[in-house]
Structure 1
Amino acid sequence: MSTASIEISGHLISPDHYIDGRRVSSAETFELFCPIDQRLLGHIAQGGENHVDAAIRAAERAFPAWAALSAAERKPYLDRFAEEIGKRADALCTVESNDAGVLLSRMRHGVVPRAMLNIAWFAEHALALQERPIDTEQAHHIVRHDPAGVAVIITPWNSPLMLSTWKLGPALAAGNTCILKPPEWAPLTCSVLADAAHAAGLPPGVFNVVQGTGPNTGAKLVSDPRIARISFTGSVPTAKWIAQAAGANLVPCSLELGGKSPFIVLDDADIDQAAATAALMYRNAGQVCLAGTRLLVHENVADDFVARMRHYVERLVIGDPRNETTEVGPIIHPRQVERVKGFVDRAIAAGGRVLWGGAMHPFGPQYYQPTLIANVAQTDEIVQSEVFGPVLTLQTFTSDDEAIALANGTDFGLGGVCYGETTHATALAERVRTGFIWVNSFGIRDLAAPFGGIKRSGIGREGGDWSFEFFCDVKDVVVPKQPFRASFAHR
């Protein structure tokens, strides 16, 4: 029997799995709560060993026919998938705002259009994955990108729709079949994705959704030897466990992990623009891996920068993310609230000075004030560890070399921001050890460009050809130009 549908603002969402083209219920469920007001949204089907096995078998059955299609033959399916996502824009925006606390304005104007593009763009880009010839003196080489098999995709709770489609696009376009494991704290837009895929006519088994917690459902998926690829976005501890489980079966993993990115402000920067951009780091309650959470400011402009940033922070609208004017919403879960509070309390105990914030916000029990902590040392926990909340730190420097030492002085290396005179800022940005860095800007992305981190921020790159390199087996078919004659050594 199916689990009762979840109703959110007139939209009915299935809490069941989607396996082999149909909804599948579970005897076991787990509760889902709204981070805005803590109300119970409903009960979500908990995936067990039987659901994982059913999804893998369905994906295996569907793989030969899906992989045999050309990229041009798969493209109409994926174009319809993108269109069906667009038809469900209102449901996707409303649902993710309720179960993840994501800003409704961000969903409408950024996430849903990007989700559609993630599917359609990679379907188009896959057309270039044709046989690539390499001619040498001895042979003609035909380089092929063959689909790998069954791909497991595990996405985090801070942006489940965008990150699911970001991985599904290239995986499906390359000819793989997929099993999506949504985040247990925010699974509902992934369920809507299953409806969109079904309406688009994707063959049964090509796209499956198995819901559940990481220790149960996720662990069973990543340790199964039938899986060909694992793409994960989330925390470092979980990634280590996944890598160990996958390593036992020699399954390639793409891991996009946390960040502790530097936000560098040089003394020749446009201080007002730098301060305004820095205030954006609090959006989505700071639950953004890309955010520049370590403010590194030249001491000559530090006072001016802090004063201007305070001006912008005081004008941030904090409240219900379903309000189009809200800029800072709730923290996803009570456990995450306690994590954020713990980081701040320990930083203060270690000598940190709160310039603003540092406490819960009166709007609700899962709202935390935008916070800036100064007087921190490079070795302090608050500087070295990812908080994943609306908490930034402030450090000053006197030279470019000192800025670089501070910027590179953590175990993370995802992104970064550098404000200054363009030539100066670009030269300094090239010395920062990260997967990407924005100069005099923030958040500019292109699907053709590589995305990913170094050090503890991850393994691999997503985007453009890099996504296809991961989701494909690259094969060289070698055809000799002259008749080949086997020869044997004299025995």
Structure 2
Amino acid sequence: MNEFHATVEGVDVDTRHWIGGERVASATTFDSVSPIDESVIARVSAGTEAEVNAAVAAARAAFPAWAAMPVEERSAILRRVADLVDERVEQLAVVETRDNGSLLRSHRRGVMPRVAMNFRYFADYAQEQLAHPDMEVRDHRERITYDPAGVVAIITPWNAPLMLATWRIGPALASGNTVVVKPPEWAPLTASLLADIMHDAGVPAGVFNVVQGTGAQAGAPLTAHPGINRLCFTGSVPTAGVIAAAAAPNIVPLSFELGGKSPLVVFDDADLDLAVDIAVEQFDNAGQVCLKGSRLIVEQSIADEFTRRVVDKASTLVQGDPRDEATDVSALIHRRHFDTTAGFVERAIADGAQPILGGGPNGDLGGLFFAPTILTGATPGSEILTEEVFGPVLTLETFETEEQAVDLANNTRFGLAATLVTGDPVRAERVSNSLDAGTVWVNCFFVRDLGAPFGGNGKSGIGREGGIWSFDFYTNVKNSVFSPAGWTADGKEN
């Protein structure tokens, strides 16, 4: 490893910024630390206002030609990006696993193929579905067009950095915008690999830019930059408030996804095998998943059996090195986040909650490995039931009536997702309509088409993305009305 290059799991990573189609170094660096063993795996260029200004300038200079490019040509370039992602799945997977600690098997089989899908889907969508036919309105011609907005700033999270970045990069580029990405300082490396892929696929210089750095040094000047036309952020509610305040003077449209405190509601007529499987699935990625159903809300009559079966199954989860195919639960992302997670659990137990599984660090592994934990008996309205832990920590509450179940499920300032398991289709319709969430899963979990809307209510965010909702955000929708007579094609009055 030298100052601006690292070899991670055998893959060379250039850790400089990518601005205007060139690698750009900064005078200072920051360390990328692997959560697997807390070792420094790369030194990364630390961007400041100067690099942000250069990236925005490059994006603005590249915008007119990219926006004017026929959509068929833009889509063809983005399909080449997708093809190269497919070819480099293994490289992307091993680097991201080392960088953020997520399971290698998940990256190989699901996460990185989804990255390619993000580009391919939105490339196809832009080409095939954004061309609206003219309408006839009182003998006039009315045409709806989607004009690219300009420069899009995308600030990405560390729990699935490449996949969640490209979920927004894909439609932003497909609709004709240029992009400046600020990757997470806790997992920055795959953004640099994506820059290589963009270059190799023929994305013109300045269309895609990466500024590495911390939130304070690189993120702050990006969010306040007057040259930004759209701003996307995934992260915490407090940080979102800071970003919104910084962007407000520029009147920039925002798309925020801010996490959740999602319920998993299990009724006594549920398929218990299914319910238990879904409950244990919430420990995926060490609980560092925004959609995770961290609040188990179970009908009293089946609570004992459900609890026993969930604890039994969760006890079989293997925690350890995410590069091992046998591992089910890995480490938390960073020492600071580990301490935050431990603090939530310690305060809950001090307040009267009882751990029926886990309850603290995994003593056999040390480091950043926090044991899968289930707490019961938490005080109603307490922190552990209302605030997002973002770790392998579930709580369990019981109810006796459907009304109580809905009240418990909605007793949060968040509203990202909810899951319910029931054998009664009428109840499924009724309860799903009552849940305050952007996505509701009934007898399933984590299933969503890229054309469906995604986003949250309340403190879970602002706006929706996916399918046409993405293009509504990343474009300025225009309605042009043409008179059938009175003007010739050259604009002169008859």
Q: TM class, shorter-chain normalised?
A: over 0.9
Which structure 2 residues correspond to residues 83-482 of structure 1 after superposition, within 5 A? 83-127=83-127, 128-137=129-138, 139-361=140-362, 362-423=364-425, 424-481=427-484
Across the aligned residues of Structure 1 and Structure 2, the Cα RMSD in angstroms comes to 1.2
TM-score after normalising by structure 1: 0.97
User: Alpha-carbon deviations, 1:285-328, whole Å to 9, x = none?
Assistant: 10000100000000000000001101110111110001112110
Whole-angstrom CA distance in 2 between matches of 1:104 and 1:342: 28
- Paired residues in the alignment total 483
Whole-angstrom CA distance in 2 between matches of 1:176 and 1:471: 7
Whole-angstrom CA distance in 2 between matches of 1:391 and 1:131: 47
In the TM superposition, residue 273 of structure 1 has moved relative to its aligned partner by 1.6
Alignment identity in percent? 47
In the TM superposition, residue 130 of structure 1 has moved relative to its aligned partner by 1.4
Query: Is residue 55 of structure 1 aligned with residue 55 of structure 2?
Result: yes
User: Alpha-carbon deviations, 1:81-132, whole Å to 9, x = none?
Assistant: 1111122211111011001001001100100110001001100000111144
8 Å Cα contact 1:272/1:305 also seen in 2: no
Q: Which residue of 2 aligns with 1:68?
A: 68
Whole-angstrom CA distance in 1 between matches of 2:322 and 2:311: 22
TM-score after normalising by structure 2: 0.96
Whole-angstrom CA distance in 1 between matches of 2:136 and 2:434: 38
Q: Structure 1 residues 22, 3: CA separation in 2 closer, same or farther (over 3 Å shift)?
A: farther
Q: Which residue of 2 aligns with 1:487?
A: none
Whole-angstrom CA distance in 1 between matches of 2:76 and 2:190: 23
Query: Is residue 10 of structure 1 aligned with residue 13 of structure 2?
Result: no
Whole-angstrom CA distance in 2 between matches of 1:140 and 1:23: 48
Amino acid at match of 2:444: S
8 Å Cα contact 2:9/2:98 also seen in 1: no
Whole-angstrom CA distance in 2 between matches of 1:88 and 1:154: 23
8 Å Cα contact 1:150/1:177 also seen in 2: yes
Amino acid at match of 1:134: M
Q: Structure 1 residues 310, 13: CA separation in 2 closer, same or farther (over 3 Å shift)?
A: same
In the TM superposition, residue 416 of structure 1 has moved relative to its aligned partner by 1.0
8 Å Cα contact 2:4/2:44 also seen in 1: no
Q: Which is further off, 349-358 or 395-404?
A: 349-358
In the TM superposition, residue 482 of structure 1 has moved relative to its aligned partner by 5.1
Q: Which residue of 1 aligns with 2:492?
A: none
> Which ranges in structure 2 are unaligned for 5 or more consecutive residues?
488-494
8 Å Cα contact 1:29/1:45 also seen in 2: yes
In the TM superposition, residue 275 of structure 1 has moved relative to its aligned partner by 1.1
Whole-angstrom CA distance in 2 between matches of 1:132 and 1:37: 57
8 Å Cα contact 1:3/1:16 also seen in 2: no
User: Alpha-carbon deviations, 1:414-468, whole Å to 9, x = none?
Assistant: 0011001150223212210100011111111211111110000011111100000
Amino acid at match of 2:34: C
In the TM superposition, residue 135 of structure 1 has moved relative to its aligned partner by 2.5
Amino acid at match of 2:355: V
SS of corresponding position for 2:179:
strand
User: Alpha-carbon deviations, 1:194-228, whole Å to 9, x = none?
Assistant: 01001001000000000000111011001011100
Whole-angstrom CA distance in 1 between matches of 2:271 and 2:4: 54
8 Å Cα contact 1:266/1:425 also seen in 2: no
SS of corresponding position for 1:47:
coil
SS of corresponding position for 2:256:
strand
In the TM superposition, residue 262 of structure 1 has moved relative to its aligned partner by 0.4
SS of corresponding position for 1:409:
coil
Which structure 2 residues correspond to residues 40-51 of structure 1 after superposition, within 5 A? 40-51=40-51
Amino acid at match of 2:52: V
TM superposition outliers: structure 1 runs of 4+ over 4 Å:
none
Whole-angstrom CA distance in 1 between matches of 2:486 and 2:76: 42
> Which ranges in structure 1 are unaligned for 5 or more consecutive residues?
485-491
8 Å Cα contact 1:429/1:439 also seen in 2: yes
8 Å Cα contact 2:35/2:100 also seen in 1: yes
In the TM superposition, residue 481 of structure 1 has moved relative to its aligned partner by 3.7
8 Å Cα contact 2:4/2:45 also seen in 1: no
Query: Is residue 80 of structure 1 aligned with residue 80 of structure 2?
Result: yes
User: Alpha-carbon deviations, 1:357-404, whole Å to 9, x = none?
Assistant: 111002131000111111123310001100000001111000110000
Whole-angstrom CA distance in 1 between matches of 2:484 and 2:352: 73
Amino acid at match of 1:18: W
Q: Which residue of 1 aligns with 2:491?
A: none
8 Å Cα contact 2:269/2:424 also seen in 1: no
Q: Which residue of 2 aligns with 1:488?
A: none
Amino acid at match of 2:148: P
8 Å Cα contact 1:223/1:249 also seen in 2: yes
Amino acid at match of 1:439: V
Amino acid at match of 1:69: M
In the TM superposition, residue 138 of structure 1 has moved relative to its aligned partner by 5.8
Whole-angstrom CA distance in 1 between matches of 2:428 and 2:353: 29
